Structure 1
Amino acid sequence: MSSLWPGRAVLTVSLFLLSSVALPLMAEPLPPPQGDVLLRVVGDIEHPNVGEELHLDRAMLKSLPQGVIETSTPWTEGVGRFEGPLLRALLEAAGTRSDHVRIRALNEYESEVPVADFHAYDVILALERDGEPIAVRDLGPMFVLYPFDEHPELLNETIRHRSVWHVGSVHVP
């Protein structure tokens, strides 16, 4: 039994040191964007970088933990490979605590989405399809994408309304 104790002590100390370094890094607000702002996160957030809002350009969005979804959608032809930040990672970067968000399109369409969706599924803010940026005329510059082919139960009216195209902002109540 005594041979296990040193290993446990090392593990405990290692976990403590890792958490004491990782937690402050996660709490660091992102710097202001250098490029064109693609997304604004507004409302009740802890980590703004421009006034009371979090503004993100393409490079910042791509620096967040990413997801890849290979799926067909109700709005596109065939199966595509979509890439973009996980929405749960985006909300973590903003420092949100709400149980829902309102995602607003550039044309003012808005949908309320429960944050639980982002933890139950790897929902992404799709920035690219098949390795290319998504053009505004093709649902871009980004859209909320659920893994439809992996979870066919998501192909329903409720989820289609939550899959906002032309995303411009996320509002946190």
Structure 2
Amino acid sequence: MKRIFAASLLLISNFASAFDLTVRVPDQAPVVLSMHQLKSELPVVSFSTSTPWADNEHTSTFTGFTMVDLLSYLNIKDVASVSFIALNDYSASTSIDDLKRYKPIVAYAVNGEPMRVRDKGPFWFIYNMSKYPQTDTPEYHTQMVWQLKEISIKYK
């Protein structure tokens, strides 16, 4: 019975941590933010856009927070770039200039529903390609990391 209880606690712990987002800053301890913190303490941003991973005539509404808001919330300044790391360890980097210019978001919901891991969740870094068509290119597509687990900050 003790083994079953211990195994279920481990399973619950792993499931819960899938909804946390780790932010790594050089020379500091990692900051782990829960889904609840992200939803309640950061401004909520939504936009509708089409993506190359769905029917191009179909748009989806993504809801989350901007990286600029997250950096401000964590009081992180002098950023050069931000790397996004997925559950499968795929990673891509984005310049601070693009974060400010195009205001991409880290989405945690699509069409009003939380994103499951099987549906590119729990977090997806995504650009509004409908508003900024210049981001609808292979260069920017590779930056749109889904199943996001970690964000790593690089200073200037």
- TM-score scaled by structure 1? 0.72
Is the CA contact (8 Å cut-off) linking 1:67 and 1:122 kept in structure 2?
A: no
53, 60, 65: which is aligned to 2:43? 65
**SS at the partner of 1:99?**
strand
1:38 aligns with 2:20: yes
Q: Note the residue ranges of structure 2 that are not aligned, 5 or more in a row.
A: 1-15
**SS at the partner of 1:162?**
coil
**SS at the partner of 2:89?**
coil
- CA-atom RMSD in angstroms: 1.6
Is the CA contact (8 Å cut-off) linking 1:41 and 1:94 kept in structure 2?
A: no
64, 81, 95: which is aligned to 2:61? 81
Is the CA contact (8 Å cut-off) linking 1:123 and 1:145 kept in structure 2?
A: yes
> Which structure has the larger Rg?
1
Amino acid across the alignment from 1:146: Y
**Higher-strand-fraction structure:** 2
Is the CA contact (8 Å cut-off) linking 1:73 and 1:148 kept in structure 2?
A: yes
- Aligned in 2, Cα 1:44/1:66: closer, same or farther, shift over 3 Å? farther
**Number of matched pairs:** 134
Q: Which residue of 2 aligns with 1:125?
A: 106
Q: Note the residue ranges of structure 1 that are not aligned, 5 or more in a row.
A: 1-34
1:114 aligns with 2:95: yes
How far the C-alpha of 1:119 sits from its partner, in A, is 0.9
Q: Which residue of 1 aligns with 2:128?
A: 147
Is the CA contact (8 Å cut-off) linking 1:139 and 1:165 kept in structure 2?
A: yes
- TM-score scaled by structure 2? 0.80
Hey, what's the Cα distance between the residues in 1 that align with 2:59 and 2:35?
24
Hey, what's the Cα distance between the residues in 2 that align with 1:76 and 1:95?
36
138, 142, 161: which is aligned to 2:119? 138
Amino acid across the alignment from 1:158: E
Runs of 4+ in structure 1 deviating by more than 4 angstroms, as ranges, are none
**SS at the partner of 1:127?**
strand
Hey, what's the Cα distance between the residues in 2 that align with 1:108 and 1:91?
22
